[in-house]
Structure 1
Amino acid sequence: MRSRIATLAAACTCAMIMTAGPALAQSGNSPGPTPGPVTEITSGLVSPLKVAFGPDGSFLVAESFAGLLSSISATGEKSVLVNAPGQEIAGVSYQDGTTYYFNNDQGAGPEPGGVLLPARLMKITSAGVTTQITDLSEFEATDNPDGDTIYGVRDASDECLDLAPYMQSPGELFSHPYSSVPGDDGVYVGDAGANAILHVTDDGDVTLVKALRAEPIEIDAAVIALAAQMGMIVPDCMLGLTYYAQPVPTDVTVKGQWLYYTVLPGVPGEGLGVGKVYRVHLQSGVTQLLAENLAAPTGIAVSRDNTVYVAQLFGDGVSTVKNGCTVNVLPAMMASDVQVKGNTLVALTNALAATGGSLVTMRLR
């Protein structure tokens, strides 16, 4: 089972580090630095889910469900770069005069349909020329990185599974590129449909960086209660078994040879506070778990001193992941993304509020 990230609008214990690396961090109430002054640049944004530092001190914001890509000046003046009603505009990023974003076709309903829809990686040059780099659904059609993965309950008896066949499914053909970060000779992409991290060259060649592993969740009373709220019945015979949730990547960033990414496990993980932060070494492929027990992490950034910042959509705002703990530094509701450049942190808050979201900045101390 999977929910599209778009359905978020409607809407513990330590794990082992996969390899030797930095200390595992958990969400908690550890004392941390006092947040710096927060400045609201603008408000009233429609579903602002991704932000990037743009040219000349501007900010680029993907107002995803409205089909808008906007440029916002440091004083809050807004200009529309892309206006595509009915489309999802996602994953904006910027480097050296080029703006990257996704223009995704949207099907009817919250779940992937039987048709593999176009998922276009676009770019806008410094001269204002917009072109398509590639359609990532074509890579999904030929490669389908999680096609051999069985999601859901793997160890139930046939008799038990017959009571709830929706508790098991293969990886489907579905491309939903949601985040991007410029890198060597192109961009890295977090595909929230393919459950994979990809690299796309400037010429449109797509390669697989990492197929993400299913996220294990023990079926306990909390899982059963959440499923009931969603209208799904989990039979008693599955109590205590492991549910392997889809490892939906929600954001990516690169620092040196490491690519950092956030994972929001699909149903039932979206509502259980079991999100995680990982990083993968781009040369060796070594993967490290940096943080867990996060409430829908959907944004990640790394500062010049290697401090990791994470935005939690259903959590308490933006937090740091450093020295073995997660500490809130920007209290906010519905923080959908965070980026850091120099001494400036920019974040999107109240992203799914009916009154509209806000673009805010904070000076880092």
Structure 2
Amino acid sequence: MKSRIAALAAACTFAMILSAGPALAHSDNNPGHNANNSSWHNNTGHGNNSGHGHHQPSPVTEVASQLVSPLKVAFGPRGSFLVAESFAGQLTSISAKGVKTTVVSAPGQEIAGVSYQDRTTYYFNNDQGTGPEPGGALLPARLMQIDHRGNTRQITDLADFEAANDPDGSTVYGVRDAAPECLASAPYMQSLGELYSHPYSSAPANNGVYVGDAGANAILFVNKRGNVKLVKAVPAEAITIDAALVAVAAEAGMVVPECMMGLKYYAQAVPTDIEVSGQWLYYTVLPGVPGESLGVGKAYRVNLHSGKTQLLAQNLSAPTGIAVDRNNNVYVAQLMSDGVSQIKHGKVSNVFPAMMASDVEVSGNTMAMLTNALADTGGSLITRGVR
């Protein structure tokens, strides 16, 4: 089961908005409303071919603060930044001087996965509701586009693809190897993938957009006509059941029987961010409950031609953002760790200490980061130069 965050300060429940393990989460959402888009793009400039505007190296700067649940950032036109203030149902443009302009206002909706390329903004408008509880409805999960003239259109509803294909519908999550009598004592420790779409990250490319669907546990490609194809069903992540996992389960009100100690718990591998660089698609995985609070997140890359997947780093603490610079250096934002880190040869080193770092992007010599994303006082957009 999966659910949305009920309290912004409860960072450990962040993964529940995306995907959780069997019987470890509940839903408490209210239906949303349709988005009203502004004409923000009418007087803006052009992005470059890499999908970003022109940005110069800069020292560490807090460009904006008091952002409400800023979970995704993108470089926009004319040196601006686009920030998805997800729980506020708002997409905001922020100038280099910190001036905020509302691009999309959709109270009651979740605005997610903002990205920008070729004078076009992409984002998700996800309905909120009862979620994938037994008998729950498969809610709309819209990939939206705003062109340089301010015209908005829906490219596709990812829920339609999920309904027709359900990439993880036959995946067994939870404990797979328990003896029948052991599993009978705790049937909540095993389930199949739910029918659920929650697109959360996007990466524009030639002729379409790559999508990280955190509900379907899949990476998809949507062409300009709205046709969707599966790029990769993200495999479940195996976590050994030990004392730490049992303690996390207990906090969630669930008892793990002694007969399951030492077995593997296959958590839903929630893709939290994607980035395309050359022939590679980079992505972060935050295993659903109980993985998000055990520091078992990972970063991967998959070759878009061969399908070969490589592990870049592991033991990450709720990785929710990934970026690649022009020298192929990889950066990752860890929501429940020490900020933004760089990955080199499988080793992870901190490059910018911060609390609740939810996303990172790089354009040219500039890095943009979202910090304090779930703080009651609001989050910040930070920039710094990179070599």
- TM-score of the pair, normalised by structure 1: 0.91
Q: Show the counterpart of 1:290.
A: 312
Q: Show the counterpart of 1:126.
A: 148
Report whether the alignment pairs 1:198 with 2:220. Answer: yes
Q: Show the counterpart of 2:137.
A: 115
Give the drift of 1:7.
7.2
Aligned pairs for 1:72-221 within 5 A: 72-108=94-130, 114-221=136-243
Partner amino acid, structure 1, of 2:115:
S
Q: State the Cα deviation string for residues 89-119 of structure 1 (Å, max 9, x = none).
A: 0000000100000000011479686210000
1:245–1:293 Cα change, 3 Å = same
Report whether the alignment pairs 1:233 with 2:239. Answer: no
Contact 1:2–1:246 under 8 Å retained in 2? no
Contact 2:318–2:336 under 8 Å retained in 1? yes
Q: State the Cα deviation string for residues 14-52 of structure 1 (Å, max 9, x = none).
A: xxxxxxxxxxxxxxxxxxxxxx84100010000000000
**SS at structure 1 position matched to 2:74:** strand
Counterpart CA distance in 1 for 2:352 and 2:205 is 28
**SS at structure 2 position matched to 1:306:** coil
Q: Show the counterpart of 2:372.
A: 350
Aligned pairs for 1:186-335 within 5 A: 186-335=208-357
Identity of aligned pairs, percent? 73
Give the drift of 1:10.
2.6
Contact 1:47–1:66 under 8 Å retained in 2? yes
Counterpart CA distance in 1 for 2:74 and 2:264 is 37
Counterpart CA distance in 2 for 1:190 and 1:341 is 21
Contact 2:143–2:156 under 8 Å retained in 1? yes
Counterpart CA distance in 1 for 2:317 and 2:88 is 25
Q: Show the counterpart of 2:39.
A: none
- Out of 45, 52, 77, the position equivalent to 2:67 is 45
Give the drift of 1:322.
1.2
Contact 1:190–1:249 under 8 Å retained in 2? yes
**SS at structure 1 position matched to 2:337:** coil
Partner amino acid, structure 2, of 1:345:
M
1:220–1:333 Cα change, 3 Å = same
Q: Show the counterpart of 2:40.
A: none
1:175–1:6 Cα change, 3 Å = farther
Q: Show the counterpart of 1:22.
A: none
Counterpart CA distance in 1 for 2:269 and 2:127 is 22
Counterpart CA distance in 2 for 1:91 and 1:106 is 15
Tell me how large the CA RMSD over aligned residues is.
Answer: 1.5
**SS at structure 1 position matched to 2:72:** strand
Partner amino acid, structure 2, of 1:222:
A
Contact 2:138–2:197 under 8 Å retained in 1? yes
Contact 2:8–2:376 under 8 Å retained in 1? no
Q: Show the counterpart of 1:361.
A: 383
Q: State the Cα deviation string for residues 291-337 of structure 1 (Å, max 9, x = none).
A: 00000000000000000000000010000001331110110000000
Counterpart CA distance in 2 for 1:258 and 1:322 is 16
Contact 1:195–1:247 under 8 Å retained in 2? yes
Partner amino acid, structure 2, of 1:124:
I
Please list every run of 5 or more consecutive structure 1 residues that lacks an aligned counterpart in the other structure.
12-35
Count how many residue pairs are aligned between Structure 1 and Structure 2.
341
Counterpart CA distance in 2 for 1:364 and 1:112 is 48
1:109–1:151 Cα change, 3 Å = same
Aligned pairs for 1:63-78 within 5 A: 63-78=85-100
Contact 1:189–1:197 under 8 Å retained in 2? yes
Give the drift of 1:156.
1.0
**SS at structure 2 position matched to 1:290:** strand
Q: Show the counterpart of 1:10.
A: 10
Report whether the alignment pairs 1:56 with 2:78. Answer: yes
Partner amino acid, structure 2, of 1:204:
G
Counterpart CA distance in 1 for 2:270 and 2:347 is 23
Partner amino acid, structure 1, of 2:204:
P
1:252–1:6 Cα change, 3 Å = farther
Partner amino acid, structure 1, of 2:203:
V
Give the drift of 1:163.
1.8
- TM-score of the pair, normalised by structure 2: 0.86
Q: State the Cα deviation string for residues 103-137 of structure 1 (Å, max 9, x = none).
A: 00011479686210000000000000111000000
**SS at structure 1 position matched to 2:145:** strand
1:180–1:115 Cα change, 3 Å = same
